[in-house]
Structure 1
């Protein structure tokens, strides 16, 4: 299964999701770092500005990452609904304050 993921290395949920997806042999992950270059950021913002899936995210002041697009075009913020992710006990607290204005780590 091919999955496109929009995220950022300063987002704890993105770091965890990317690591988990890369560990799965049956997943072909295309990772797009939204803070890596302006072209990728514009691509992500086009989804964020125009797709209704983002309305609740925008209303709550969040960014909307990690954001996933499945090979069939379905979009989600929770890849765990579609893929059995490996469990891990890694502490990602150190990343949490980098992700959000309120320091709660909710992107």
Structure 2
């Protein structure tokens, strides 16, 4: 199952998630928000319009890492992603 990981190489939680997914040999597409303005723009559109982010926005958080799976699942929960592998 292919997983799109949206995060930043500057974020320790993102780096941890990438390591765990690599350990499971997951097929990944990493969108590095610190290195790509088009990816950042696309992410911000999701963040501003997805109900999953309501609490994150209220808390002033960024909400990364964010995972989107081939089956359409969107989550910020690494354990949920790992369980589906």
Tell me how far apart the structure 1 counterparts of residues 80 and 70 of structure 2 sit (CA, whole Å): 15
> Mind listing any 5+ residue stretches in structure 1 that lack a counterpart?
85-107
Greater fraction of residues in strand: 2
Say whether the 8 Å CA contact 2:5–2:68 is kept in structure 1. yes
**Residue 3 (structure 1) aligns with:** 3
Q: In the TM superposition, what are the counterparts of 1:6-45 in structure 2 within 5 Å?
A: 6-25=6-25, 27-45=26-44
**Cα RMSD (Å) of the superposition?**
1.0
Shift of 1:70: 0.9
1:73 is paired with a residue whose SS is coil
Shift of 1:19: 1.1
Larger displacement relative to structure 2 (73-82 or 63-72): 73-82
> Mind listing any 5+ residue stretches in structure 2 that lack a counterpart?
none
Work out which of the two has the higher radius of gyration on C-alpha atoms and give 1 or 2.
1
